[in-house]
């Protein structure tokens, strides 16, 4: 991806340093069920596909393209398999350090740490101004993967795209677009072919159930249904709700902006149909069980 975008030559990145950095990034992902290196790589691949197929790489410019690639690869560094809410409930050190976007701030700090580690300094040959710009975009992009940030910004983002007044020369407009792209890529599994989507959904739910188990055992609290194994049969219905409330608005907005992004919307809609069908089957089975009891 970096080679295809000619970013290695443009920023004079030493190839061996790049290889060491990539290995370091991969090592700093924990062996959790879903938020691991494979997820990070998938997010980055989707970002690459988006900016190349739309040719938005020309609009964003080389610095922002480099920043987005790095941000995608590093956006979940050192993820523990638990979300921001858990960090706060557990009153751990990260929640004390960061009151908002707890894990995202930690991911960004881990990213900075690796970029400044001896032997991993892939930005060693950029100018001071370029370095400052990359770090600013990195922080903005990684923090944008917090769904709380997405909900806070999506009104302005959707309004901007619907108005057809997107100005690529406006830094605030580009920030909103980058944030939406990070969300679209982070949630990208929902757009994949059904067999892949079904498998990934199970991985996500297993990680959620892991957090729910911790909340029960260590915090002595009842997890929300999405995190509770007792509600595992409700996964199809919860997926439909997740798609309706979060995913479809994202991909609808992007598809209306560029025709090359319509396949993501189509994939999301097809998966909604599959999950909806499974929801109906679960409800029918529940009705049959109730009848048998009577």
Catalytic residue among 35, 39, 105, 107: 35
Contact 82, 211 (CB under 8 A): yes
Residue 29 in tokens:
């992902």
Nearest of 18, 40, 47 to residue 123 by alpha carbon: 18
Query: Active-site residue 260, yes or no?
Result: no
| DSSP 8-state assignment for residue 243 | I
Instruction: Write out the H or E segment, with its range, that includes residue 18.
Output: helix 15-27
Residue tagged 């029960």 (tokens): 216
Q: How far apart, in Å, do the first and last CA atoms of the chain sit?
A: 61
Q: Exposure string (b/e) for 35-44, b if CB count within 10 Å is 16 or more?
A: bbbebbbbbb
Q: Cα–Cα distance between 246 and 223 in angstroms, integer?
A: 21
Q: Cα–Cα distance between 244 and 254 in angstroms, integer?
A: 15
Please, which residues have CB within 8 angstroms of residue 133's CB and are 6 or more apart in sequence?
A: 63, 67
**What is the set of active-site residues?**
35
């Amino acid at each position: 991806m970096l080679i295809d975008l000619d970013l290695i030559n443009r920023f004079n990145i030493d190839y061996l340093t790049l290889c060491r950095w990539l290995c370091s990034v991969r090592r700093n992902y924990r062996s959790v069920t879903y938020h691991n290196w494979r997820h990070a790589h998938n997010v980055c691949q989707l970002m690459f596909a988006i900016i190349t197929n739309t040719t938005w790489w020309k609009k964003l410019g080389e610095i922002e393209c480099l920043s987005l690639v790095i941000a995608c690869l590093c956006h979940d560094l050192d993820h523990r398999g638990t979300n921001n809410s858990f960090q706060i409930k557990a009153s751990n050190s990260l929640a004390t350090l960061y009151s908002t976007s707890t894990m995202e701030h930690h991911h960004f700090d881990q990213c900075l740490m690796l970029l400044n580690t001896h032997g991993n300094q892939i930005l060693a040959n950029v100018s001071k101004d370029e370095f400052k710009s990359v770090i600013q975009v990195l922080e903005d992009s990684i923090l944008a993967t917090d769904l709380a940030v997405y909900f806070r910004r999506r009104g302005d983002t959707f309004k901007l795209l619907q108005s057809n007044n997107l100005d690529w020369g406006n830094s605030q407009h580009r920030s909103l677009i980058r944030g939406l792209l990070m969300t679209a890529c982070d949630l990208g599994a929902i757009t994949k072919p059904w067999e892949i989507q079904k498998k990934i959904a199970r991985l996500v739910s297993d990680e959620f159930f892991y957090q729910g188990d911790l909340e029960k055992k260590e915090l002595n609290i009842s997890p929300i249904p999405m995190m509770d194994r007792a509600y595992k049969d409700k996964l199809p219905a919860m997926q439909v709700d997740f798609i309706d409330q979060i995913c479809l608005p994202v991909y609808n907005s992007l598809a209306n902006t560029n025709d090359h992004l319509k396949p993501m919307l189509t994939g999301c809609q097809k998966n909604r149909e599959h999950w909806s069908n499974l929801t109906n089957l679960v409800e029918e089975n529940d009705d049959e069980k109730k009848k048998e009891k009577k």
